[in-house]
Amino acid sequence: MGSGAGRDWRERAAQGKPVGRPGAKRRRRPSRGASPPCSPAGGARAQGRGGLGSRSPAGRGEGRTPAHRSVGARGQSGGGKDRQSDTLPGTSVAMAEHAGRRCCLGWDFSTQQVKVVAVDAELNVFYEDSVHFDRDLLEFGTQGGVHVHEDGLTVTSPVLMWVQACFSISDCPVWMDSSTTAQCRQLEATVGGAQALSCLTGSRAYERFTGNQIAKLYQQNPEAYSHTERISLVSSFAASLFLGSHSPIDYSDGSGMNLLRIQDKVWSQACLGACAPHLEEKLGLPVPSCSVVGAISSYFVQRYGFPPGCKVVAFTGDNPASLAGMRLEEGDIAVSLGTSDTLFLWLQEPTPTLEGHIFCNPVDPQHYMALLCFKNGSLMREKIRDELASSSWSEFSKALQSTEMGNSGNLGFYFDVMEITPEIIGRHRFSAENHEVSAFPWDVEIRALIEGQFMAKKIHAEGLGYRVMPKTKILATGGASHNRDILQVLADVFGTPVYVTDTANSACVGSAYRAFHGLAAGTDVPFSEVVKIAPNPRLAAAPTPGASQVYEALLQRYAMLEQRILTQTRGLRSEFHRPSLTDSTWRRGLGQQGTSSLL
């Protein structure tokens, strides 16, 4: 945020204009359940999650707010006087109906909209609301909440859409931006290469990551950089709105910047120096994700009736908040089967590589989380369904039911767009003898697609250090999680039971969960203990007896054939070689979550 701010940004946000203009349309409604689905990883958005917390046995009390990754706040309002026209935007009805009720507000500042949910002490969602940028803030002229610039690489959001008059630049880069390739190369060279950077920060250099975006700004606009007092992630910026002062960056969201040393959780001096001068003082010191970063601003108390003891917990990013919302535990894996497929992994001992991301765990500071994204997800499944199963999921399922586990040794790779992990494009089919063939029978093709997608996920998850444990469970979300036959293949390939949950908006709800955890963090209560009363997931599929033996050999063959394809299509480059840095088209489509800087 710029040091020469004009109008008070706290007042601007607190007046019910967190996205920049008066009179924005809002839907005030009690929730009949969870809010509309929000893919936890189907698209990497510059998002933040957070919460505000308060206890209110007598209408006043204290509380904490969890955080989300790019932009976030979690909030609780424990009662007190309800002001019909002066409550927090979008919550007047709910707060009036639940005055005096202990609750947490989970916030989701995403690329496309701002959402809020209210969760009561029984962890039930009883209210939800949102402001959609394209629809409700027409004057900013965004499409999907962003502006794509003429170079086709630079993608930004107008910061005035969030709050006016406090920024040293007018546009904020978001996760889709791929204009910092030169800065990525420079950063990796400084620390000894891409693998060295991954071991240090959890990821090789990514164009959308904050450190590289800061380096670009410093190089292209040094005057704006010199006039910048504070650099925030969207998550820490959103927390700052509630605090009325600068909020620190949390470990989990901070580990998506290519700047934080994930082992000892301090800024890497080598990475800072490679990006811009005096960067550490502009970032501030990072803090644990469950840290209470301060009390809510007195403005919110006076204007909106928040309890004066309401606390703000460090905000985090959307992927870490989704891990909290899905209540992952050590050894668990979350699989989002959406437009792109995403895996969240709870890791104890990570193995950073040149693929995927390692983050600090948002609910257990001793552990880590990993993320893998696969672009050819539901869209690929829908293509095969339309081509071979008469556009019918019922016919698609019949093919999975009529073919045997292991598909008689037939294996397939289906990447109609350039995949992220592995870096392959095209359709490749192999017989049981490892001979490439041009086609499979329709039912064999369908099973080859589904088995191949899940074998790739397991192979690359193990590459990041993931191992199935006796208590491991898979939590499945996304459109394909409604297909029991697809989930049965998932259970068989991984050799562990698959569960589904009714929790929609997992990131936003996870923000509220973390607010409750923040209230109890001082007593060292585990996150799992805090959320144990939340609705339990339902068993959807258990491994078929003998599945482990069938897929053990197939997984080895799949990995070998994947390497063969990489060698054939990329020359002699190794599996973990960087993709072409000029291939910006597919790089813009990376489905992984990134962070953005606000200056």
Of 15-19, 372-376, 384-388, highest mean pLDDT: 384-388
Q: Cβ distance 175 to 45 under 8 Å?
A: yes
The per-residue pLDDT for 479 is 87
Q: Above 80 in pLDDT, residue 36? A: no
Q: What is the rounded average pLDDT of the residues 257-278?
A: 97
Question: Which range has the worst mean pLDDT, 53-67, 157-171, 298-312?
Answer: 53-67
- Smallest CA-to-CA distance from 3 within 191, 231, 200 is with 231
Q: What is the rounded average pLDDT of the residues 439-453?
A: 98
Q: Both tokens of residue 546?
A: 């003998």
Q: What is the rounded average pLDDT of the residues 370-384?
A: 94
Q: Above 60 in pLDDT, residue 426? A: yes
Percent of the chain at pLDDT above 70?
77
Percent of the chain at pLDDT above 90?
54
The band of 144, judged by pLDDT with boundaries at 50, 70 and 90, is confident
Question: Which range has the worst mean pLDDT, 136-140, 167-171, 223-227, 317-321?
Answer: 167-171
Q: What is the rounded average pLDDT of the residues 385-392?
A: 97
The per-residue pLDDT for 313 is 87
The per-residue pLDDT for 568 is 87
Q: What is the rounded average pLDDT of the residues 571-591?
A: 37
Residue 33 φ/ψ region, left for φ over 0, alpha for ψ in the -120 to 50 degree band, beta for the rest: left
The per-residue pLDDT for 580 is 37
- Smallest CA-to-CA distance from 189 within 180, 177, 181, 197 is with 197
Higher pLDDT, 166 or 333: 333
Higher pLDDT, 435 or 90: 435
The band of 48, judged by pLDDT with boundaries at 50, 70 and 90, is low
Q: Above 70 in pLDDT, residue 180? A: yes
Within 13 Å, how many C-alpha atoms sit on residue 12's CB side? Answer: 20
Cα–Cα distance, 289 to 371 (Å, whole number): 18
The per-residue pLDDT for 105 is 83
Q: What is the rounded average pLDDT of the residues 95-110?
A: 66
Higher pLDDT, 112 or 361: 361
Q: Position 530: which residue type? A: V
Q: Above 80 in pLDDT, residue 51? A: no
**What is the value of pTM for the model shown?**
0.72
Handedness of CA 39, 41, 46, 48 (dihedral sign): positive
What length is written for the chain? Answer: 599
Per-residue pLDDT tens for 461-512? 999 999 989 999 999 988 899 999 999 999 999 999 999 987 768 888 999 9
Q: What is the rounded average pLDDT of the residues 527-537?
A: 92
Higher pLDDT, 66 or 170: 170
The band of 523, judged by pLDDT with boundaries at 50, 70 and 90, is low
Per-residue pLDDT tens for 322-332? 899 999 999 99
Per-residue pLDDT tens for 223-263? 999 999 999 998 999 999 999 999 999 999 999 999 999 99
Q: Chain-wide mean pLDDT for the chain?
A: 80
Higher pLDDT, 176 or 576: 176
Cα–Cα distance, 574 to 578 (Å, whole number): 9
Burial degree of 61 (CB within 10 A; 0-12, 13-18, 19+): buried
The per-residue pLDDT for 85 is 27
The per-residue pLDDT for 220 is 96
Write out the DSSP string of 321-375. Answer: HHHHHTT--TT-EEEEESSSEEEEEEESS----SSSEEEE-SS-TTSEEEEEEES
The per-residue pLDDT for 522 is 63
